[in-house]
Amino acid sequence: MADLRELGEQVHVELWVSLAALLRSYTAVHGLNGNRQATIEHDENRILARHKEKWLELKRKVATITWQRENGTWGTLELTQDSRLRGVGMIPAEEEMDMAAEAWARDLMLELPR
């Protein structure tokens, strides 16, 4: 039984590293036309994406991810082994991990005209 748990944890670690890489790639793409760049820091349990005053922090405990934004909004997601993020709570919607990363990156890099 412990071997299955270890294998599951290894899968979640690999998916976590992939999520950080997706955030890095998508923030780079969204910053191209304005020569903007985000900072992505990550380890096995935390990802922090920052661009100017905006930030997104993701914390992982096995398959549970808690996210928080600079404006105080937050939520909880489950990282599935088929690389999807599932909402936890009243509306348990699922989204492909890359689509969620792209949406987060787009929002982080969006600069409103002054």
Task: Give the CA count within 13 Å in the CB-facing half-sphere of 15.
Answer: 23
CA-nearest of 108, 25, 13, 23 to 70 is 108
pLDDT tens, N- to C-terminus, the chain (114 residues): 445 466 678 889 999 999 999 999 999 999 988 888 999 999 999 999 999 999 999 999 999 999 999 999 999 999 988 889 999 865 568 999 999 999 999 999 987 666
First to last CA, the chain: 57
pLDDT of residue 1: 41
pLDDT of residue 114: 61
pLDDT of residue 35: 85
In the chain, domain spans: 2-109
- Its pTM stands at 0.88
